Structure 1
Amino acid sequence: MSDQLPSGGIELSPDEIEALHARWSSCWSPSEVAQQLAGISTPWYVAAGWALDLFRGRQTRAHGDIEIAIPASSFPEVRNRFPGYVFDAAGSGRIWEDATPEVLDAVHQTWLRDPATGSYLLDVFREPHDGDIWICRRDERIRRSYSDIIHRTQDGIPYLAPELVLLFKAKHARRKDQADFDATVPHMTSAQRETLAQLLTRAHPGHPWLADL
């Protein structure tokens, strides 16, 4: 991904950003996403708050949207699974509707929109990678094989390892992120907690969560 945002797009006011929440009210569940992507060859996983609920085995809070992540180069394969829908790129308070390849190269977040209703159904992160190696977009020194970072529920829904979900949440540590940390850590193995501590030390030295690990 480029470090410079492309030109164009729609700049959103704070009120417009707030109003976007209503457009996510019809977003899919993890099982519905898995049905849409059944049999696809590229690795993918549920990310963010939903991933932690899948790890814990139950939904623990309301989710305003659903996010998945894929290798950036696999986006055409994923896009082909959704004929009749539109992908908008989003970043830094802007939206690029029906995003062009130039925009997709520069913005990693992509929202699947139903053009008939205007509703957003799925947020797709297009992540950096080196072949089968996932690269953390926050710190490219952190690299893992997809086989190591993707876990699965009993019914086969793939989700990101909890220690990596919490690594992403650590940057802002909003109220919901703190709640996710508090609810998830007791369910993690000692090895997972140790890995999270190592990653936090590397990416966010001195982070307050380290004291609880």
Structure 2
Amino acid sequence: MRTETPWGPWDPLSLAEAVRLLAALRTPWWIAGGYAVELAVGRAYRDHGDIDVLLLRHDQLPVQQVLPGWEWWAADPPGTLRPWRPGEILPAHVHDIWCRPGPDQPWRVQFMLDDVDGGDWVFRRDPRIRLPLDQLGTATGDGVPHLLPQVQLLYKSRCRRPKDEQDFEAALPVLDDDQRSWLTETITLAEGADHPWAARLRAG
């Protein structure tokens, strides 16, 4: 689904295109965003204005080799895009990278960087929230790596845009007891006990 932004249009890669282009990447990566929830649910249920891929911050440089000739732009808070130079290590406050085939082309894929402490993934908004790396994601039967739905929903819990609410509703039936418990606990810790999603999760 093509969308407009102040920095030019988005015309995201399809899920299949993104998986094909990233097949050569030898460091861990996971489909994130709404597509991660759809992969967990097992069906498509909405349009997507972008496609997100999660990388570990210490693995950021290898991804530059995956799409040779493409433009890489770092989202430098608060709301600035700037070129990401080959070989540059992005600072800790930069979490998002936009990528497109050329200057006259639409943006096609967004990479997100998350931090690791030892063998644990660290939630960027609250470092008290952690997971062993082997519990961060899973893969579909045909091998597509993606974030587990409770992790993606934790990220979505702050903004609660219409698409985030749609993802939450779609994911609820597929969350098992452990996933519900973890998501309830982490939303409560990061966003407060009165968060509507935490209340829905506690209600069963």
TM-score (norm 2): 0.87
d(CA) in 2 for partners of 1:126, 1:183? 26
In the TM superposition, what whole-angstrom CA distance separates every residue of 1:179-206 from its partner, at most 9, and x where no partner exists?
2111211121122111111111111112
For the aligned residue pairs, the C-alpha RMSD in angstroms reads: 1.9
d(CA) in 2 for partners of 1:34, 1:184? 22
Q: 1:30, 1:157 within 8 Å by CA — same for their partners in 2? A: no
More helix by share: 1
Q: Superposition pairs for residues 97-136 of structure 1, below 5 Å?
A: 97-99=83-85, 101=88, 104-105=90-91, 106-115=93-102, 117-136=104-123
Give secondary structure in 1 for the equivalent of 2:112: strand
After TM superposition, give the deviation of residue 131 of structure 1 in Å: 4.4
Structure-1 residue corresponding to 2:80 = 94
Residue ranges of structure 2 left out of the alignment (5+ in a row): none
Structure-1 residue corresponding to 2:54 = 69
After TM superposition, give the deviation of residue 118 of structure 1 in Å: 2.3
d(CA) in 2 for partners of 1:18, 1:77? 28
TM-score (norm 1): 0.84
Inter-CA distance 136–183: structure 2 relative to 1 (3 Å threshold) = same
d(CA) in 1 for partners of 2:155, 2:175? 16
Inter-CA distance 18–37: structure 2 relative to 1 (3 Å threshold) = closer
d(CA) in 2 for partners of 1:81, 1:175? 33
d(CA) in 2 for partners of 1:193, 1:210? 9
Corresponding position: 1:210 with 2:204: no
Structure-2 residue corresponding to 1:58 = 43
Structure-1 residue corresponding to 2:128 = 141
Inter-CA distance 41–18: structure 2 relative to 1 (3 Å threshold) = closer
After TM superposition, give the deviation of residue 42 of structure 1 in Å: 1.4
Amino acid at match of 1:211: A
After TM superposition, give the deviation of residue 41 of structure 1 in Å: 2.6
Q: How many residues align?
A: 194
Residue ranges of structure 1 left out of the alignment (5+ in a row): 1-16
In the TM superposition, what whole-angstrom CA distance separates every residue of 1:32-57 from its partner, at most 9, and x where no partner exists?
22222225331110111110011111
d(CA) in 1 for partners of 2:85, 2:151? 28
Paired-residue identity, %: 34
